[in-house]
Structure 1
Amino acid sequence: MREPRFTFRRPQPAADPWAPLSWARGAIVVAVAAAPSVPAANHLGVAGYAAGDAYAQVRDALERVRRLLVDVGGRGVVVADSNLAFDRALARRARLGWVGRHTLVMVPGYGGAVVLGSLIVDRVVEVRLGRTPTGDPCRNCRRCVDACPTGALGDGVLEPLRCRSWRQQERHLEPSWRETWGPWLYGCDECVTACPLSARQKKVGGERVASILSASDAALAERVRSWYIPDRTLAWVRRNAIVAARSLATSPDDEQAIWRQLVAGAAPVRAEAVRWVLRRGGWGGVDASRARHQRLSPEDRRYSALPRGDLPSARPDELRRRHA
């Protein structure tokens, strides 16, 4: 299993983004609302920050300020959703908000339903917009901690290896992860929507399984262009859709899309489809009886625990015992 890298790949410069920039003197820090997502019935969930492109809004806003600064002889560098700075630490220093028990910056009026960005500048800037938070509104509340389905949250501490958002980006999935995966295709907003300060911002939405699995590579690549995907390989997105599909009441179109991946998808996607069909009893008509005439390639066998040759034509309960 990979260790979390991202910001922690270069902790020293991220903790002091001014150090590599001899001219830097301060930072302008902004928070932009990103409504948390609640998956609609029988839809795959996509976290609010990824459902649109909130970080693009942050970068565009800060870039406009940077250009204004350059016009008057100043300098600036935009830092947003990168490993160049600890966004949360800069937001706290700028007094945008406080850190909640779910480790996210809580902004008055929005809670943790925001994304952050900064403009490193060559001068000290005194700007104050909105309300300065006072006290600790989280002191008597643990709803976000209790809502986390994987137990990744403590009191202001996140264990990233247990977080759904991290696990979705792994190439290898531990068997236990599938049991707590839920309906999420990318990210997870359950801790944010559980927070009373963020819940009123939530939006219901999501993606159909068939729309993800049946999309062309070009269309899917455009849809997920701002997501972090291992090796930028779309197979992992489709694999995640099949894992999440187990939590849904899939439609006939969804089941046909899964069946097509079982026959013609990339190797890890086929393996995930085979795993669910054979080990979990299948989805309606997509079961072992329909799969028995399909042959697995050597690449398929490398990703699955199935025997060589034709898929066995056995009852689902017998198959589960055989391949458990």
Structure 2
Amino acid sequence: MAQAEGFDAVGFAPADIGQIPGNRLQDFIALERHGDMDWIVEKAAWRRHPQALWSDARTVIMLALNYGPETDPLAHTGKADRGVISVYAQGRDYHDVIKKKLKRIARALLKDYGGDVKVFVDTAPVMEKPLAAAAGLGWQGKHTNLLSREYGSWLFLGCIFTTLDIPPDTREEGSCGSCTACLDICPTNAFPAPYQLDAKRCISYLTIETRTHIERDLRPLIGNRIYGCDDCLAVCPWNKYAKHARELSLEPKPELNAPKLADLVTLDDAAFRALFAGTAVKRLGRNRLVRNVLIAIGNGGNSEYLAIVKPLLSDASPIVRVAAVWAVGRLADIVSYTRLRDEFAEQETDDAVLTEWKLSEGDFNESAG
């Protein structure tokens, strides 16, 4: 059934997976590595163990869908005029695609074997990666993501909780050995140690999850990544064994493979919704995407973008205005910067934007010093 639905791997884990994953979750929260993802804290009691979420669950069926790219996902990194969108988000929203597949399998399971089921795809407090490892689909690598001998780092995960008792598969005992490629490539040093992630420094968190301004010291490290980051996944040596995705239902959009920053920064809400309809990016919202694009433009350092950045200094969203001020500080000379500051800062009412004007001016003073 899983293969018929396009999944590449399936495994079975006991719903009782012990206390270790939950204890690691608590450590993660205690160290405040979750940033402003408050839902992790609020639902931690459910997340720490499958049977805390559903006490009747006896087995977790883990399914994996390969989304291995055909081209190098890092090919456009650092290009000043292009933005990089994570491979998984260049097509239809995987939540929608995979959940429909899981529901069809769950219905067939109920029909043939009875019991009860619940399906999840990143939509409930479930620790999919420890469960996938327990089901024999792979192991968590030093980058904390699931690694597979057959598919490398490129797997979507979905799960079916069931009241049926199904014999579990053997846990995968993989190894990263002495390799630290994923840790070494991380632009923001988001890994305090192997197998540990500080989400607050992760580019995927910064460009997708955080709902406010991105810290100034991290902005230059983001480069031209405007939605997510594939660096730690893409450099994993296990990817040499990975197969290209055979499941095409995510329907990648060519226009989302390294789109032009100049086209994205001018999007209004309607144009944003039209371009990203049906994709995971749409859930980000226009303001946060434009924030990310402005940071990429600032990092590109091309002063020709000043003309299209200028109108965003009076954008309705403070999140956009802060990023626009920062971009101007990276693109303009001191004369142009001062002229724009005098024009826009006087009418500014938001404290964060006013602070950004002052800090960006300080950047010029430091450079002069």
Give the TM-score of the pair, scaled to structure 1.
Answer: 0.80
The equivalent position to 1:269 in structure 2, one of 295, 304, 320, is 320
Deviations 1:191-224 (A, max 9, x none): 1111122366699932221232222313423517
Identity across matched positions, percent: 25
Shift in alpha-carbon separation, 1:207–1:290, aligned structure 2, 3 A = farther
Q: CA deviation at 1:112?
A: 1.4
What SS is found at the alignment partner of 2:205?
Answer: helix
Which has more helix, going by share of residues?
A: 2
Corresponding residue number in structure 2 for 1:166: 205
Shift in alpha-carbon separation, 1:84–1:306, aligned structure 2, 3 A = closer
Amino acid at match of 1:159: D
Corresponding residue number in structure 2 for 1:62: 102
Deviations 1:4-58 (A, max 9, x none): 4444432222122234434322111011123363262332111122222333332
Amino acid at match of 2:196: V
Q: CA deviation at 1:134?
A: 4.9
The equivalent position to 1:110 in structure 2, one of 134, 141, 151, is 151
Corresponding residue number in structure 2 for 1:245: 297
**Alpha-carbon distance between aligned partners in 2 of 1:258 and 1:272, rounded to the nearest angstrom:** 10
Instruction: Work out whether 1:320 is the aligned partner of 2:364.
Output: yes
Report the more deviating stretch, 103-112 or 254-263. 254-263
Q: CA deviation at 1:144?
A: 0.6
Q: CA deviation at 1:280?
A: 2.2
Shift in alpha-carbon separation, 1:257–1:35, aligned structure 2, 3 A = farther
Do the aligned residues in 2 keep the contact of 1:143 with 1:194 (CA within 8 Å)? yes
**Alpha-carbon distance between aligned partners in 1 of 2:238 and 2:164, rounded to the nearest angstrom:** 34
Q: CA deviation at 1:101?
A: 0.7
Corresponding residue number in structure 1 for 2:222: 181
Instruction: Work out whether 1:50 is the aligned partner of 2:79.
Output: no
Do the aligned residues in 2 keep the contact of 1:152 with 1:158 (CA within 8 Å)? yes
Corresponding residue number in structure 1 for 2:74: 38
RMSD: 3.6
Do the aligned residues in 1 keep the contact of 2:291 with 2:319 (CA within 8 Å)? yes
Shift in alpha-carbon separation, 1:250–1:79, aligned structure 2, 3 A = farther
Do the aligned residues in 2 keep the contact of 1:306 with 1:323 (CA within 8 Å)? no
Q: CA deviation at 1:322?
A: 8.8
Corresponding residue number in structure 2 for 1:312: none
Amino acid at match of 1:9: E
Q: CA deviation at 1:104?
A: 0.7
**Alpha-carbon distance between aligned partners in 2 of 1:282 and 1:66, rounded to the nearest angstrom:** 57
Q: CA deviation at 1:135?
A: 4.2
Corresponding residue number in structure 2 for 1:299: 349
What SS is found at the alignment partner of 2:299?
Answer: coil
| Unpaired segments ≥5 residues, structure 2 | 1-31, 246-251
| Unpaired segments ≥5 residues, structure 1 | 309-315
Amino acid at match of 1:235: N
Amino acid at match of 2:119: V
Do the aligned residues in 2 keep the contact of 1:263 with 1:294 (CA within 8 Å)? no
Do the aligned residues in 1 keep the contact of 2:142 with 2:183 (CA within 8 Å)? yes
Amino acid at match of 1:12: A
Do the aligned residues in 2 keep the contact of 1:101 with 1:155 (CA within 8 Å)? yes
What SS is found at the alignment partner of 1:268?
Answer: helix
Shift in alpha-carbon separation, 1:152–1:322, aligned structure 2, 3 A = closer
The equivalent position to 1:217 in structure 2, one of 269, 275, 280, is 269
